[in-house]
Structure formats: C-alpha cells, structure tokens
Amino acid sequence: MLKIELLIDARADLGEGPLWDVDEQRLYWIDSLGSKVHRCDASGGDRRHWDVPDHIGSMALRTRGGAIVSLRDGFYTLDLDTGACARIADTNSDEPKIRLNDGKVDRQGRFLAGSMDYGESDPLASLWRLDADHSVHKLEDGIICSNGPCWSADGKTFYFADSYTRSISAYDYDTATGAISNKRTFCSFPDAGLRGFPDGATVDAEDHVWSVEVYAGRLVRFDPDGRLDRVVQLPVDYATSLIFGGPDLDIAYVTSMARTVPGRGAPLEQEAGGLFAVHGLGVTGLPEPRFGG
C-alpha cells in the first residue's frame, strides 16, 4: 500500500540532491541555498548537518572517505570529520550569474554535475565531468538549468535534463572515457500531458527513469522507451528530487523547497521544504556509486 510520510519537517529553502549510501545505511541531502549538507538514518533519526561556504548544488561520498560537493564556483572536497571544504577544481568563479547544480557519480566513479543560471532564464550554464584524478571536462554548454543526471542500469545511457526545455535527454555514454554522444529526446513532459518541469531523477532496478515533476508535485516514471508509465501525487507542489534508499532500497526519499519562486510565489503547503519518504511503490532502486578520487 502506498504511504507517504513527512520524515523531517526541515523547512529547507531549497532541499535537493538526496543520496542513499548502502555502506553507511544513511541518507544525505542538501539545502542548496541554505548552504548545508544533511544526514539521517532511514527513519529520519540520527541527524547531523555540515555548513558549507557557498551555495551547494549536489554531493557524493568518496571511496577514500569524506565527500565531494559542487559549490557555486567549482568542485570541493568536504571533510566529514572537521567540516572543512577545500576547492579542487574551478568551473565558473568568474561568472556570478551561474552556479553548479545537480550532480551524480557514474558506475566508474566519475562525478558529473551541471550548472544553472541563477535567474533561470539564460542559456549560460554547462555540464561538467570531474574525473578521479580531479581533472575537469566540459561536456556540453548552452544550458539554462541542469537537473536529473542519472544512468541506465548498464551505465551505457546517460539521462539529463535542462529543466526549461521541459524534456529529458538521453545520450550514449562511453563507460571507458566518460564521453557523451548521440543526444536525443528521451521524453517530453508536454507530450506526456505533464504540466510541470523535470527536476531530480533516478533509475530503478527495472531500468525505468523516475523524475520529480517540480511545480506539479508528482513523481513520474518512464519506461526505457520514454513512455510515461506511472504518476504518483506528492503532498507538496514544490518537490525537487528523489532517490531510492532504506535497507531494501525500496523507499523513495523526496526533497522539497520552502522558498518563494519568482513568478510562482510561495508554496502553499505547511510541509514545503520537508523531506518525505514514499513507501509501497513496489520497486527498488540501484546502489549509488562513490566518487573514485
């Protein structure tokens, strides 16, 4: 039976980037504009948070310990013992209108993260890949708002959204080099009858793509051919991202935002900005890899 619970009434300004780590059995997530990394257990207990020195778009754990984070102007390490951040690669320190946003680690341990225009109107942003040797590679540009990077179960298809195209793109992904090619439209939200925008995304164990339909407050699932397969209504319209976690990887953890969005206003629900747990979806997720550097 489907059950949606408010796990943490966080009132996050911009909750994003949930990450379930199988080894730790812990959930990490961020408040992008609140400049915080949060952690809790599967039931929302054992909480801890870390402050970071700038707006944060995404994070991943490292194989050698600690985390990698995408802050406004580049990639940083985060020492989870001391809370110290150290920059390892610059992406856009000379461009105050953009910041790094959503990111994830591929099956080979590389971290891909895209940037976004703060005004969410101009195609100033790019998609970046950070390799284990800390080298940085630009994969694409001309993006307004990067969101939802994730991979097919075999790692050979990369999914990515520029939210303001209202579609999710698919690319061939070279698992040996991390190169992307053969960009095509995987799914169009308007064509599927969806009124919102694609935000955070993940792929389940059945190789279906789940996306959060921001401003419509729904989880939407697409089959491997890009056909809309399922829609799940959430308690808040300003939901942002999801990940499967819990001991059996069968709980969908969903973040949301409490901030007022220009042109859209403040969220109406008291639970906006909360962290939610969706039980009973009948599917499981895939373990998230750690960054190799």
Instruction: Spot the catalytic one: 102, 117, 131, 199.
Output: 199
What is the spatial distance between Cα 195 and Cα 138, in angstroms, rounded to a whole number?
31
User: Which residue, among 172, 131, 138, 169, has the nearest Cα to 154 in the 3D structure?
Assistant: 172
Considering the four listed CATH numbers 2.40.30.10, 2.120.10.30, 1.10.630.10, 2.60.120.10, the one that applies to the domain covering 3-279 is: 2.120.10.30
Global pTM value:
0.97
What is the maximal distance between C-alpha atoms in the chain? 50
pLDDT for position 1: 92
pLDDT string in tens for the chain (293-residue length):
999 999 999 999 999 999 999 999 999 999 999 999 999 999 999 999 999 999 999 999 999 999 999 999 999 999 999 999 999 999 987 888 999 999 999 999 999 999 999 999 999 999 999 999 999 999 999 999 999 999 999 999 999 999 999 999 999 999 999 999 999 999 999 999 999 999 999 999 999 999 999 999 999 999 999 999 999 999 999 999 999 999 999 999 999 999 999 889 999 999 999 999 999 999 999 999 999 99
Q: Are 27 and 20 in contact (CB under 8 A)?
A: yes
Dihedral of the alpha carbons of 215, 265, 19, 125, in degrees to the nearest 10: 90
Residue numbers in the known binding site are 16, 99, 101, 147, 199
Residue numbers in the known binding site for a divalent metal cation are 16, 147, 199
pLDDT for position 92: 84
Q: Is 133 a catalytic residue?
A: no
Residue numbers in the known binding site for substrate are 99, 101
93: its two tokens: 């320190």
Q: List the chain domain ranges.
A: 3-279
What is the spatial distance between Cα 272 and Cα 84, in angstroms, rounded to a whole number?
30
User: Which residue, among 130, 140, 136, has the nearest Cα to 161 in the 3D structure?
Assistant: 140
